[in-house]
Structure 1
Amino acid sequence: MMSTLLHLDASARTRSFSRRLSARFASSWRTAHPSGRYLYRDLAAEPVPHVTEAWTELCDAVLGAGITDIGRYREVVRTPAQRAAWAVLAPLLDELVAADTVLIGTPMYNFSVPAALKAWIDQVTFPRMSLRGKRFVVAGARGGTYLPGTPRAPFDHEERYLRDFFAGHFDVPDVEFVHAELTNALVDPRLASRRDEQEASLAAALARMDEVAT
């Protein structure tokens, strides 16, 4: 069976550390799976719309009808507004269900995920379904360091949120996180003394991407 990788990037920067990490994974994965299928979405360059009232009506209709097969979701589409909502949602669900591996490149923004990624997450929670058996890999970048034991570790609501979401909503208990820490050491004078740590963290993250991908 052909393997499929769904690759999402959420950074507002076109030359970001999270994009560099996710690109490294994708390159290694494609080398290891030359006949595999590769799907890509740039959630920052082509934002997914936020959910609308029509989306909530579709979700309620699916739940009310007891439909568990995604292929039958279209049965509840009735109004023009619902058809417009479904036109946004359907390809996102198709990509997610088709993928064996889901790769998410995302920075930490304000201790959590970017709005572009949150919009995608909100769309595909329609309704709760089990994706157990699929691999989820998050390639992250943070301006400071949020490693366990560091002063800012309690403020890491990005990894905690994504772990809770994937486990609680998609039944995926094991998500691989690889972070480049201290990226602001390149621009913030207060972190200039930690430049070596930043470079070491990035090098380790890039190497880990190769390992996880293959």
Structure 2
Amino acid sequence: MPHLLHLDSSARRQSFSRTLSGAFADAWRAAGGSITYRDLAAEPVPPINEAWTEICDFLLAHSITALDELDTAVRTPEQAAAWKIVEPLLNELIAADVVLIGAPMYNYSIPSSLKAWIDQVTFPRMSLAGRKIVVASARGGSYLPGAPKAVFDHQARFLQDFAQGHFAIDDVTFIHAELANSVVDPALAHLHAKHEESLSTALSSARALAGELISTATR
């Protein structure tokens, strides 16, 4: 049975990124897939500390790359405490066939809650090749190619580059709901219809993609 790791990172309990990721997860579950869910905003992951960096230094020094050997770098009580935080996060990630990330754009990038998770589960030379990442994204404006602010999109670019450059995951799909601020900003009210269209398209894409990935995995 294909397994999904579903992460949400919006500071809002009701948000467009949560709506999108929820639509994907519901379709995934309906198609027979299993899910592990983690709300990074409701239960924040702490920042990495010096003990975490010491673990990384040991892994680099001893050329340890196997995922099931990472815990061999734990040698002190402080490192054991750091590993106690990392281990369940890492186990969830390794067990997933697909990682679904609900990620709003905050200040042209990603929420600090998501960055903290990324920092915790990232180790030297750690490949997760073969897995897929789906990002359910909501942005206040439009950052699509050709839009005036497209150059400021450090949200999608960061996640894409990180997945490929560090985890060796080439299959990263973004589903964007654009112009979310048109709901609350009078200056963007004239773009509300475009936001509704973008959200509707994104929801349809999320549901369809979940079904496609389940179908492909079970053939």
Residues of 2 paired with 1:52 and 1:115: CA distance? 15
Q: Which residue of 2 aligns with 1:147?
A: 144
State which of 150, 162, 166 in structure 2 corresponds to 1:165.
162
Task: Please list the CA deviations of residues 5-52 of structure 1 after superposition, one character each: whole Å capped at 9, or x if unmatched.
Answer: 00000000000000000000000001112xx33101100010111010
1:63 paired with 2:60, answer: yes
Residues of 1 paired with 2:88 and 2:50: CA distance? 19
Q: Which residue of 2 aligns with 1:83?
A: 80
Residues of 1 paired with 2:110 and 2:196: CA distance? 23
TM-score by length of 1: 0.96
Q: 2:182 touches 2:192 (CA, 8 Å); kept in 1?
A: yes
RMSD: 0.9
Residues of 1 paired with 2:125 and 2:36: CA distance? 23
1:107 paired with 2:104, answer: yes
3-state DSSP class of the match of 1:175? strand
3-state DSSP class of the match of 2:171? coil
State which of 10, 14, 39 in structure 1 corresponds to 2:36.
39
Amino acid of the structure 2 residue aligned with 1:202? L
Residues of 2 paired with 1:168 and 1:195: CA distance? 36
3-state DSSP class of the match of 1:49? coil
Identity among equivalent positions (%) equals: 59
Residues of 2 paired with 1:128 and 1:41: CA distance? 25
Residues of 1 paired with 2:15 and 2:118: CA distance? 21
Q: Which residue of 1 aligns with 2:216?
A: none
State which of 189, 201, 209 in structure 2 corresponds to 1:192.
189
- Say how many residue pairs are matched: 211
Residues of 2 paired with 1:126 and 1:109: CA distance? 25
Runs of 4+ in structure 1 off by over 2 angstroms are none
Q: Which residue of 2 aligns with 1:15?
A: 14
3-state DSSP class of the match of 1:8? strand
Residues of 2 paired with 1:105 and 1:202: CA distance? 14
